[in-house]
Chain A
Amino acid sequence: MKRTPVPADVAGTVWQIVVAAGETVAAEQELVVLESMKMEIPAVSPHAGVVREILVTQGEAVAEGQVLLVIDAG
C-alpha cells in the first residue's frame, strides 16, 4: 500500500490536530493546523486515504519539511 508522508509546509507549532489515526480522509481535507507567523496554516491531505500514523502532538514545534503524519492510499 502506498504510504504518503505529509510534511509541514512551514515551520511553526502544531495548533490543532484535526484528524485521528484510522480516520478516512478526502483529498484536500485539513489534517493538522499549524501556527506560523501568527496565522493558522492548514496541512491538507494530498489524496484520499486513511490516516495511518500521526507523528506530532499539539503544541509541538515543527520544522519546515518535518513529517506530520502518514496517509495510506484509500
Chain B
Amino acid sequence: MSWQPELDELARRTAMAEAMGGADKVGRQHQAGRLTVRERIQRLVDAGSFHEVGALSGIGEYDAHGQLRHVTPANCVFGRAAVDGRPVVVVGDDFTVRGGSADASIAAKPLMAEDMAAELRLPIVRVIEGSGGGGSVKTIETKGASNLPGGIGGTRLFWRTTANLAEVPVVGLGLGSVAGLGAARLASTHFSVMTKASAMFVAGPPVVARLGQALDKQALGGADIQTRSGAVDLAVDTEDEAFAATRRFLSYLPSSVHGVAPVQPCDDDPQRADEMLLSAVPRDRRKVYKMRPIIEAVVDRGSFFEMGRNFGRSIIAGLARLQGLPVLLLASDPFHYGGAWGADTCQKVVRMVDLAETFHLPVVYLMDCPGFMIGLEAERSATIRHGVRAMAALNQSTVPWCTVIVRNAFGVAGAAHQPAGRFSLRYAWLSAYWGSLPLEGGIEAAYRAEIEAAPDPKAKLAEIEERLNALRSPFRSAERFWVEEIIDPRRTRALLCDFAKLAEPLRTPGPARLAMRP
C-alpha cells in the first residue's frame, strides 16, 4: 500500500491554500486594482523561487463523519525565495481572507517569518495589507476576553518588528489600507514603499471620525501625507514598481549585518570628469543650484537610488555605487531652505547614518549647509536637539566617511559634516565658503559699536563686510591647515572612487554597536 490517499489529500489541501479567500474575494481584490498576496510574491521574487512554509495552516471545517469540507487558509503567507539570485524571506498579508486582519491569523506565522530571517541571516520583505494586529473589537466576543497588547505569549512579534532592523535588511510594502500593527510593521523598516492608491494610518477614518475629523482614507493617510511625514519612504503608481524598488534597494545591501554588500562590476570610468561640475555652483551666493545632477555626475552612472525624497528635503539621501561599491550618499539640496537643517532633516540624517552603520556602507556627503534652520518654527520643533542628535549619529559612526564641501559650512550644523572623533577624508570645492556664522546678520551683532559710531552706518556695514569677505577665501583656511584639500570639482568622481577603493577592505561585518531604531 502506498501513501497515495494522503498524497491526494496534500494536493487537495494545497489547492485550498492557493485559492485563498475564494473566487469572489479574489475577484473583488482584482476589481479594486490590487493583486493577491500570492501574485505579489510571485512578481516580487525570482520566477519559481518561492518556497512556502505553512501553506496548510488555516481553519478546517469537517462534516459529521469527520470528513474535510474546506480549509480557510490563514491570512499570512510566508516563505523563502530569491531576489536577483540572493535568498530572502517574504511574508505577506492575504487581504482576501477576512481583510488581512488578525481575526484570521495564526500569530506564529508572521513571527516565524521574522525569526527565520534573523536566524538564516536573510533580508525580509513584509508585504502588508490590512491591520494584522489584535483583530477587530469583535475578537473580544469570539475569544471571550480582551487582548492585552504585548501580554503574556504575545510579545515576540512586537520585539522582532523592531529588533530585526539591527539584524537584516527589512523592507515594507504598503499595498492597500494599512492600519494598526500593519502600519507599525510598515514604518519599522529600513525602506518602505506604498502605492499611491494605498493609505496608511494608526487608525482609519471611522475611528478618526470620532475625533470630529471627517477624512477619507487618502486625506488621512495617503501617499502625500505619509511620504511628507517621513513615515513612508517612497510612493509609486503600481505594485510592480514597488517590487522593482524593493529589488533595487536590496541590491545595495548585504544579506545581513554579518556580511558586506556585494560589489558589482562597473563600466563607468572612475576618471570621468564631468565639465559641468566646474560651473555647477553659481558665483552669486544668493543663487541656488540643482544638486541631483551633481550626484549623477560623480557616482557610477545611473546608480543613485534616492530614499525619502519628500521628507527632510534639505538633505537628499540614498544609495549609490562608486566603481561598483555600494555607499550611502547624503547631499544638501539648496532649493530647500538653502540646505539648512530643520528637525525633519536631522531625523532623516540620523536614520540614514544608522542604516549605513548597520550594514557597513561607506558614507559620502556632498555638503552645502548654511546651518540649522532658524526662526520660531525651528525653535518650536526642537531643531537644536534633533540637530545634536544628528551630530551624535555622525560621531558614533565607525564606517568609512568622505565629505566634499561643495559650498556652505556654517555653524554647528556646518561642523556636523564628518565624524568628529576620528579620521575621515575631506575635500573642499573651489566654491567652498564657511564660518562660525554667515556674515549677513552676524556683522551687525559683532560690530555694533563700530557701526553705530560711524557717520554713515550703512556704508560702514558694507565696508566691514567687504573687509571680512576678503578673508573668507578657503585658500586662507588651507594655509592654516584647517582644511586638508581644495580640489577642482571635476576631480570629485575620481577622488570618490579612490575613497571607495580605500573603504572596501575597511568594511567590518558584525552587529553595530548601537541597535538601529526605526
Contacts and interface: CB of A to CB of B under 8 A. Distances in A.
B334 A39 contact: yes
Contacts of B441: 38
A36 B441 CA distance: 14
Interface of B: 285-288, 313, 334-338, 340, 370, 373-375, 377, 438, 440-441
A36 B377 contact: no
A40 B288 CA distance: 7
A56 interface: no
Contact of A41 (B285, B288, B373, B374): B288
Interface in A7-53: 9-11, 36-42
Interface of A: 9-11, 36-42
Contacts of B338: 36-39, 41
B287 A37 contact: no
A38 B334 contact: no
B337 A37 contact: yes
A42 B288 CA distance: 8
Interchain residue pairs A-B with the least CB separation, the first 5 = A37-B338, A39-B338, A37-B337, A40-B286, A10-B337
A38 B285 CA distance: 9
A10 B288 contact: no
A40 B438 contact: no
A67 B465 CA distance: 36
B377 A11 contact: yes
B440 A10 contact: no
A38 B335 contact: no
Given A37-B340, A41-B335, A42-B335, 12 more contacts: A9-B335, A10-B337, A11-B375, A11-B377, A36-B338, A37-B338, A38-B286, A38-B338, A38-B438, A39-B285, A39-B286, A39-B370
Contacts of A41: 288, 334-335, 337-338
8 contacts: A9-B335, A36-B338, A37-B338, A37-B370, A38-B286, A38-B441, A39-B286, A41-B288
A38 B375 CA distance: 13
A50 B374 CA distance: 36
A11 B314 CA distance: 13
A10 B314 CA distance: 10
Contacts of A40: 286-288
B440 A38 contact: yes
B286 A9 contact: no
A11 B377 CA distance: 10
A69 to B, nearest CB: 18
B466 to A, nearest CB: 17
Contacts of B370: 37-39
Nearest to A36: B337
A36 B286 CA distance: 10
Given A37-B370, A38-B438, A10 B336 contact: yes
Nearest to A38: B440
A39 B286 CA distance: 4
A63 B358 CA distance: 38
A38 B334 CA distance: 11
Contacts of B334: 39, 41
Contacts of A10: 336-337
Contacts of B375: 11
Contacts of A38: 286, 338, 370, 438, 440-441
B4 to A, nearest CB: 64
A41 B338 CA distance: 8
A46 to B, nearest CB: 14
Contacts of B377: 11
